[in-house]
Amino acid sequence: MEKNYALKNAPLVKILGSGIPPIVLIVALLAFWQISCVVRDIPTWMLARPTAVGGALASGFGALLPDILSTYANIIIGFALAVAIGLAVAILISSFSLLSSALTPLIIALCCIPMVTLVPMMMLVLGTGPNVKIIAIIIQAFPLVNLNSVVAFLNVSPERLELMQSLKANRVQSFLYCVFPDGIHGVFTGIRLASIMAMVTGVSSEIIGGNAGLGSRIIYFINFSKTADAFSCIIYIAVLGIIIYGVISIIESRVKW
C-alpha cells in the first residue's frame, strides 16, 4: 500500500467545523428524494420517503436496539483486534527480513480475498454466533493496518535512524523512540482504510449469514415490505462508520508532528 495522504487530509474534526456545506447538500438530496417520491407517486413499499424513514428511526429504535448493539459490538471488537494484530505482525515483519519476504505477498493476497465467501463455510464449524463475523472482519481488515505500518516502519527518515545508530540504541529503544513515532501517520492511514473493510465485511456477513444484527434485519424488513425500517437500519450502520472514522480522526489529530 502506498502512503495514503488521501484520507489523512480529511480529518472529521475539520469536516465538522465546516459542516454547513455537506449538511446543506444532504438536506437538498433528501428534499429531492422526498419530492420525487411524492410527484411520481412511488409506492412506499418500494422506496420509502425520507419522512417515513425519519419516523421509523424514531419509532423503531427501541425494538432495534439489540441488533444495533450486536452489530456495533461485532464490528468494533473485530476492528480493534484487527488493528492490534496488524500492528503486532507489522512490528515482527519490519524487524526480520526473512518474514517480510515470505509473508508480505501472502498478506496482500489475504486482503484481496473476499472473506465473505468464507462466512458460510465458517458457519458450518462455528455456528451462527458472532465469532464468525468477528473472524471475517479481522482477516479482511488486519492486512491493511499491517501493510501500511510495515511501509511506514521501513521508510523511517534515514537521518532520524542514524541518530539511533550513533547512540547504539537497541532494537526496542530504536523502535519506541524513533521508528514508531516516525511511522505513526502510516499506521493511522492503515487503520482508517481497515475501518472501511471492517464495516463492509461485518455488515455483509450479517446479510449473508446472520440471525442477529442490522444486516439481517434489513432482509427481514424487506421481506415484510417495511422499506422505511430497512432504510433506518442502513442509517444506523452509516452512523457507526462515522463514529469509527471520527474517533480515528480525533486520536490522530492529537499527533501533532
Within positions 97 to 126, which residues make up the interface with another protein, using CB under 8 A?
97-98, 100-106, 108-109, 111-118, 120-121, 124-125
Q: Rank residues 23 and 39 by Cβ distance to another protein and give the closer one.
A: 23
Question: Does residue 173 bind another protein (CB under 8 A)?
Answer: yes
* Least gap, CB of 127 to another protein (angstroms): 12
Distance from the Cα of residue 252 to its chain's centroid: 15
Residue from 88, 241, 237, 255 nearest 188 by CA: 255
Total number of residues that touch another protein (CB under 8 A) = 99
CA dihedral 102, 104, 110, 112 (to 10 degrees): -130
Q: Which of 95, 129, 224, 250 binds another protein (CB under 8 A)?
A: 95
Half-sphere exposure of 239 (CA within 13 A, CB side): 12
Q: Quote the cell numbers at residue 232.
A: 433506518
Tell me if 85 sits within 8 A of 142, measured CB to CB: yes
Question: Does residue 196 bind another protein (CB under 8 A)?
Answer: yes
Binding residues for another protein restricted to 7-26, rule: CB under 8 A? 7, 9-10, 15, 18-19, 21-22, 24-26
Question: Measured between alpha carbons, how far is 225 from 134 in angstroms, rounded to an integer?
Answer: 30
Q: Which stretch binds another protein (CB under 8 A): 2-10, 32-40, 53-61, 127-135?
A: 2-10
* Least gap, CB of 217 to another protein (angstroms): 10
